[in-house]
Structure 1
Amino acid sequence: MLCLDPVDGSVTASATKTAGKPAGAVAFRHVTKRFAAKHSSVQITVVRNVSLEIEKGEVVSLIGPSGCGKSTLLNMGAGLYTPTEGEVYVGGRRVTRPSPEVAFMLQKDLLMPWRTIVGNVELGMQIRGATRGSRSQRAAELLERCHLKGFELHYPHQLSGGMRQRAALARTLATEPEVLFMDEPFSALDAQTKMVLQQDLAQMLSTEAKTALLITHDLAEAVALSDRVLVMSKRPGTVIEEIRIDLPMRDNPLERRKLSGMNEYIARLMDLLQVGREEHLG
C-alpha cells in the first residue's frame, strides 16, 4: 500500500504489513466479498482484494463513496459476514464468527427501551456471566466518564439523542473489547453535540488504549480522531490511498481541529474523493 503526503503529494511506501502472520490488532488479507443479486444468479462484488492492518491502540478512519463496501468490511471484521476470498484476523486469530474481542457501535444507539440506562450498559456483561457487583461497578465508572452520572435509572426515551449515544458508547466499552468498529456513530447528531462526543470518544480510546476502525463521511472527524485515514474507491471497493495524520493531540480533537495542518489534510481528502466521484460519473 502507498502512503501519500497531503502537503506535497509525494508517495512513499507504507508500513502496513501484508505478509506473514498478522502482528497488528486487525488485519484484512486480500479480502473480497460478493453477494448474490436478488432474483438473479449474478454475483455482485462489493469489495475487492482489500489488504490492511491496524496496530494495537491505533485509530483508523475509513472514507469513500456510498456503496463502496465500508460497512461490509466492518461486518467481516466483526464476524457477521464471511469473506468470499481472503482472510480477516483480530488479535492474530482468524475471524470465523462473532468475537468477544470486538464491539460494534452504529449510527442508531439501539438501546433497549424497556431497560434503564444502567441496565443497557450492563447487558453485555450480564450475557457474559459477570457478577452483579462487577457489572454495577464497571457501569457506574463508564456512565460517570460519559457524563451520565445521575441518569442511571432513566429510560432511553427520557434522554436526548446525544445522551443516548453516550450511553451506547458506555455499553460498547463495558465488555472491555480489544477492538471497536464504529459505523458513522455520530452522523445523526447536531454539530455541537457531535464535537463533544468526538472529544469523549477520543479521550476514552486513548485512556483505555483501544484499537478502533471508524467509518465516517465527515472528513474533519476523520482527521481529528485518527492516526491514519484510508480512502476507498467506488464499488467494488478497495483501498486506494493511505494518509497518515502527522498531527499531535489525537486524544484532544477539539484542539487538533485548531491546528493549521488540519485544513491541508481535509483538502487532500476532498481531492481524492472528488477524483473518485468524477470517475464514477464518467
Structure 2
Amino acid sequence: MADIRLEFRDVTRHFPIKGGDGSDVLTAVKNVSLSIRDCEVVSLIGPSGCGKSTLLNMGSGLYQPSLGEVFMDGEIVDKPNSHVGFMLQKDLLLPWRTICKNVELGLEIQGVPAKARKEKALDLLHKCRLDGFEDSYPHQLSGGMRQRAALARTLAVDPKVLLLDEPFSALDAQTKMVLQQDLAKTLASEKKTALFITHDLMESATLSDRILVMSPRPGTIIEEINVDLPERANPMARRHDMANRVGEYVTRLMELLRVDEMAHEVKI
C-alpha cells in the first residue's frame, strides 16, 4: 500500500462567533479523521458550510486545529505548509504579469534562477496546452485558459499535495469537462496527490479514487466511497459509463446528501 501523504487525526475546529462574549464558538468540523495516500485523488463533498474548505486550510497550515492534529509525511503541520499547492475557484493570476511570469512566481519567491524558472514554466505551459500564450496577460485569456495557467503555476513549485477548492465551479459545462480531463491527465502524469472539494457529484465520481461525504455543520465524515472504476486519468471515459457504474455512484451520493428529499421540500 502507498505511503500516507496527508493525514487528519481526529481534528476539530472552532471559530469565535462575531459579536459574542468570547466563549461562544461555531464548530466548523468535528472529530474528522482521514488520510490520503501518495498519488491518490480524494474528493470531499457535502452541504455548503460543512467545513470542507476549513479542512483544506488546516491541511495547508493556514488554520490550526482546535483539537487533533494534521500530518504531512508523518510530520505535524503546525505552520504554513510549503509542501502543498492551492488551486481555487478564482485563478488569482496577477494582471500585471504575463502568463509565463505568473507561472514563474512561486519559483521566483523560492530564489530559483531566472533561466531555470522560465524553462520550468514553459514546460508546464506546454503540458497545460498553453503554447503560444506565454507572453499574453491574464485578461487576454478565456476563463478555462486562465485556470490551466493557474494549474501550471500550482505545479511549478512541485507540491507534494494539491488542495483543490472547487476550481471549475465558475466555468460552463463544456469547458469544465475539458479542464477535468486536463487535470486528471496532469495529476496522473506528474504522480501528484490531491484533495479535491466539489459540489458536482459527477465530477467527484469521474476524477477520484475515493469520495468522502460530509455531514452538515459541524462537519464529520459520514461515508467513504471507493470508486472502483478504471481510467482515473481519463474522466471522459468514465463519463461514457454513466448509464452503468458511474450512475450508481452518483445515485448513492444523492441519497447520502438527501438531494431528492430536499428538492421535494422546496415550495414555490
Q: Name which of 251, 260, 264 aligns with 1:267.
A: 251
Does structure 2 retain, via aligned residues, the 8 Å contact 1:124–1:174? yes
State the one-letter code of the partner of 1:238.
Answer: T
Does structure 2 retain, via aligned residues, the 8 Å contact 1:65–1:277? no
- 1:30 maps onto 2:10 in alignment: yes
Unaligned runs of 5+ in 1: 1-14, 16-21
Residue matched to 1:4: none
Secondary structure at the aligned position of 1:180 is classed as: strand
Q: Name which of 208, 216, 220 aligns with 1:226.
A: 208
- Give the C-alpha shift of residue 91 in structure 1: 1.6
What is the RMSD computed on CA atoms of the aligned residues?
1.6
Structure 1 ranges of 4+ moved more than 3 A? 275-278
Residue matched to 1:103: 85
Residue matched to 1:3: none
TM-score when normalising by structure 2: 0.94
Residue matched to 1:209: 191
State the one-letter code of the partner of 1:264.
Answer: E
Residue matched to 2:177: 195
State the one-letter code of the partner of 1:33.
Answer: R
Secondary structure at the aligned position of 1:50 is classed as: strand
Residue matched to 1:123: 105
Does structure 2 retain, via aligned residues, the 8 Å contact 1:234–1:276? no
- Give the C-alpha shift of residue 171 in structure 1: 0.2
Map 1:125-204 to 2 at 5 A.
Answer: 125-204=107-186
- CA gap 1:276/1:211 in 2 versus in 1, 3 angstroms: farther
Residue matched to 2:218: 236
Segment of structure 1 superposing worse, 257-266 or 22-31? 22-31
The C-alpha deviation readout for 1:229-266, integer Å capped at 9, x for no partner, is 00000000000000000000000000111112100000
Cα distance between partner residues in 2 of 1:91 and 1:171: 23
Does structure 1 retain, via aligned residues, the 8 Å contact 2:46–2:52? yes
- Give the C-alpha shift of residue 100 in structure 1: 1.8
State the one-letter code of the partner of 1:28.
Answer: F
The C-alpha deviation readout for 1:161-199, integer Å capped at 9, x for no partner, is 111001000000000001000000000000110000100
Aligned length: 259
- Give the C-alpha shift of residue 93 in structure 1: 1.1
- Give the C-alpha shift of residue 159 in structure 1: 0.6
Residue matched to 1:39: 19
Cα distance between partner residues in 2 of 1:268 and 1:115: 45
- CA gap 1:110/1:275 in 2 versus in 1, 3 angstroms: closer
Q: Name which of 54, 60, 63 aligns with 1:78.
A: 60
Secondary structure at the aligned position of 1:234 is classed as: coil
User: In percent, how many aligned pairs have the same letter?
Assistant: 62
Q: Name which of 43, 65, 68 aligns with 2:47.
A: 65
